[in-house]
Amino acid sequence: MNTQREYNACLQAMYGMRRFGIKLELTTIRRMLKGLGDPQKAFRAIHVAGTNGKGSIASALSTILHLAGYKTGLFTSPHLVRFNERIRVNNREIEDDAVIGAYAAVKSVAPGEREPTFFEFSTAMALYEFARQGVQWAVVETGMGGRMDATNLLEPALCIISNVSMEHQMYLGDSIAQIAGEKAGIIKPDTPVVTGVRQASAIAVIEETARKQSAPLHRLKEGFRIRRGRNGAFTYYGLDHVWTGMRSGLAGGFQADNAALVLAACEALLRRGVELPLDRIREGLRVNRWPGRLEVASQSPYVLLDGAHNFMAARNLGRFLTESLSDRNITLVVGILDDKPYAAMLKSLLPACKRVVVTRARTDRALPPEILAAAASEIMTDITLIPDVAEAVDHAIRTSGPGDAVCIAGSLYVVGEARAALAQTGYIADPAS
């Protein structure tokens, strides 16, 4: 079997694991990792949880550590176009043969009483590959929650909880406090915690968990803060330092808060004796890129991709469209998953737009576009229904003028399919970059 066929066979088998659904328990992943020799103990780790911003924060820290001279692993989810995006070493996706090797290693480990889920299997693959490649640091993003997330067998040097909002209530709880409790489950004894959580009930839960674990807690706007300046620059007032002229490579005003968490994390590592020169911190934050998040694919027409996959992210995107693209006629191409508050998300996004094209990603979790169209009709009249994402994007671009804008949003699955389609037409040179 050649490499491409073997690679495809591995992915087909893994995607078949989705039928096992979501299992929030640690027995299976613990057994898998033990069978692999506990690879998670072979490197130092940063564990990142939260509702939004996890990927932006994790990728920035990975970039900073890499530029500081450390061999660095990055594990995130979901991917946009290719599975390999989930597992990166020194900010480069692992090769197909590494996917095959990691798959074979994990497959050889007896799962125990039940088969692993797709995410459990992917997590084991990532940790195995990081150990095999000898990374010094790994930045690992949770999949859902934290306490019972498959990534929570790490013994991290630092934990980050970006923020908390209502999400995955069937699994995490139906209140902010309950969801915060699940995310606070990543906090480990004597391990510093950096958080941007703002709700009083969530703060109380995280503070109590940190107290019980004797974990130093650093809160945005309490232990550290930022002051925005001109042209996207900001000053960071931190735990021990004041850093001026800082910039994030990611667009959107909300990214300044994510950048503050990144810089506080760097300070927490400095306190633990990790060598991170300021020029490497500054440069890593500036050059960091995170595909599918306010990513500009074209200037004429202006084509913007942003996952905006939950209410908070949709609200941030809606604010960006209103503040930054108010001089353009905006077409929204949108598809949303069936477990998201689609009506509220549309109310955040549509007021900034002149028309909408509703679509559906190729996943059984996608909301039928007819439902989206009905909800959109309560806000605007110019609605087009095109179920195929690539066709929806093509229609939106073809029918937009050079000074108009097309925004593709609502789901990372939709953005991934759109990104692949745009790559085929030359808008994006490398869908996995």
What are the pLDDT digits (tens) for 342-379? Answer: 999 999 999 999 999 999 999 888 999 999 999 999 99
> pLDDT tens digits for 3-15?
899 999 999 999 9
Residues 6+ apart with CB under 8 A from 279: none
Q: Give me the residue spans of the domains in the chain.
A: 3-287, 295-424
295-424: CATH, from 3.30.200.20, 3.40.50.170, 3.90.190.20, 3.10.20.440: 3.90.190.20
Q: What is the pLDDT of residue 433?
A: 43
Q: Confidence class of residue 386 from pLDDT cuts 50, 70 and 90?
A: very high
* CA 128 – CA 145 distance, rounded (Å): 22
Does position 300 have pLDDT exceeding 70, yes or no?
yes
Domain spanning 3-287: CATH superfamily: Mur-like, catalytic domain (3.40.1190.10)
Q: Per-residue DSSP letters for 13-50?
A: HHHHGGGG-----SHHHHHHHHHTT-GGGSSEEEEEE-
Query: Mean pLDDT throughout 329-336?
Result: 98
> pLDDT tens digits for 188-219?
999 999 999 999 999 999 999 999 999 999 99
Q: Which two tokens stand for residue 232?
A: 């996207």
**pLDDT > 70 in the chain, percent:** 95
Query: What is the four-CA torsion angle of 22, 27, 28, 30, rounded to 10 degrees?
Result: 120
Query: Mean pLDDT throughout 253-265?
Result: 93
pTM given for the model: 0.91
Contact (Cβ atoms closer than 8 angstroms) between residue 258 and residue 248: yes
For the chain, what is the radius of gyration of the CA atoms? 21
DSSP 240: S
